[in-house]
Amino acid sequence: MIPYRELESFFTRLVSTAQDRGIVCAITSGMACVHFGVAATTKDCDVLCEVGKADAFRELIAETSLRDLLPNYRGNISPPLDARWMRGGWTSHFTWKTKPEDACLDVFGIAPRGSSPWERQLTGIYARPNVVAEMKRTNREKDWPFATALGGEMLAEHDMNGWLHLYDVDVLKKSAASAVPPEHLAALRPVLRLAPFADTRTVKRLLLAERQFWSELDELRVHIYQKHLRPYLSAVRRASGGRRDQSVAEGHAIRVECALAHLPFQPLRDFGLTRMVDEAKANVGMTMGNDVIEWLPAAEHHFHGL
């Protein structure tokens, strides 16, 4: 078993090397959370990479060995690491077949739910907490405390955008005891207008509505991508002839060919970003009451890069 420290060191070196080569990239998700003081038990690494440098980063990955093993694309489902698909929010997966379990790297060009360029929000080899926290608004229950914890960290560092990531009524109350959410943030997140959040029951209900909204949006987003991935997966499996040991270059050529046939460049735009937001809002209205809709966040700002 490769110790976690060695894995962490491997991935941080990979990103440092990429940055030295002029590739804007950054570690996000679990490893970034650990760095920022919100421990996560993950051994995989997620990296944001500037879309325009997809080829360069892929080449770097391809030549980087871990315990003398070169990487492969992971499984048949991985889209190619190619700017054309990265721009549309697709994620590429790589693996080093170490024993007893693989070391895995996920690479994407668009930060999900990003409201501003992630490329301008780096601190060393990590994406800043604001980027990481936006990515935590998923349809997985376990992700939400990380968003709140990161938001709290941001406020402690006097980054007022932290207000956008607090999803706990007690944390909101305590934060409001010493500061007022700025008006421009309340425009993005109406719930902040309830500061100092004294009406606990109302705040709790609206926080639930917000979380459900982001969850619905994420489910819809994933569903849109997965619809296209099924035929793509079959095509890659056929074209690979059952082989799982292709080099990154070999695997890439197969994946590009299959992706050209099965993966649209911009599936979310094709579906309609406004349509996605409207559907998610409608779903929340149905389950929680239409009165909460006006309190939902301005999500149309959270498709930056697409």
Partner 1 sequence: MRDFHVRAFGEEMARINFLPEKRRKAAVAEMIDYARSKGVKLGRPALGVTP
Does position 240 interact with partner 1 (CB under 8 A)? The reply is: no
* Count of residues touching partner 1 (by CB under 8 A): 52
The burial class, CB within 10 Å (0-12 / 13-18 / 19+), for 230 is exposed
Does position 173 interact with partner 1 (CB under 8 A)? The reply is: no
What residue ranges in 99-235 does DSSP mark as E strands? 103-108, 122-123, 126-127
Does position 50 interact with partner 1 (CB under 8 A)? The reply is: no
What's the DSSP call for residue 117?
Answer: -
| Footprint on residues 61-90 left by partner 1 (CB under 8 A) | 74-75, 77-79, 89-90
Does position 119 interact with partner 1 (CB under 8 A)? The reply is: no
Q: Rounded to an integer, what distance in angstroms lies between the CA atom of residue 132 and that of residue 151? A: 10
Closer to partner 1 by CB, 246 or 285: give it: 246
What residue ranges in 50-173 does DSSP mark as E strands? 72-73, 91-96, 103-108, 122-123, 126-127
Q: How many CB atoms lie within 10 A of CB 298?
A: 12
Strand order in the sheet with 122-123: 72-73, 91-96, 103-108, 45-49, 25-28, 126-127, 122-123
Q: Token digits for 17? A: 């090397």
Max intra-chain CA distance, the chain: 63
Stretch that binds partner 1, among 125-133, 189-197, 214-222, 276-284 (CB under 8 A): 214-222
Closer to partner 1 by CB, 166 or 191: give it: 166
Query: For partner 1, which residue of 55, 63, 157, 170 counts as binding (CB under 8 A)?
Result: 170
Q: Rounded to an integer, what distance in angstroms lies between the CA atom of residue 300 and that of residue 113? A: 9
The helices-and-strands tally (H runs, E runs) of the chain is 12, 7
Closer to partner 1 by CB, 273 or 293: give it: 273
- Rounded to the nearest 5 degrees, what angle is found at the Cα of 16, between the Cα atoms of 12 and 21? 150
Does position 43 interact with partner 1 (CB under 8 A)? The reply is: yes
Q: Rounded to an integer, what distance in angstroms lies between the CA atom of residue 226 and that of residue 91? A: 12
Query: For partner 1, which residue of 188, 208, 222, 239 counts as binding (CB under 8 A)?
Result: 222
Q: Rounded to an integer, what distance in angstroms lies between the CA atom of residue 296 and that of residue 142? A: 21
Does position 133 interact with partner 1 (CB under 8 A)? The reply is: no
Closer to partner 1 by CB, 60 or 147: give it: 147
Closer to partner 1 by CB, 74 or 252: give it: 74
**Could you tell me the smallest distance in angstroms from the CB atom of residue 291 to partner 1?**
28
Query: For partner 1, which residue of 93, 211, 252, 302 counts as binding (CB under 8 A)?
Result: 93
**Which residues bind to partner 1, rule: CB under 8 A?**
1, 3-5, 8, 34-35, 37-44, 46, 74-75, 77-79, 89-91, 93, 101-102, 104, 106, 108, 112, 135, 138-140, 145, 148-149, 152-153, 156, 168, 170-171, 218, 221-222, 225-226, 229, 232-233
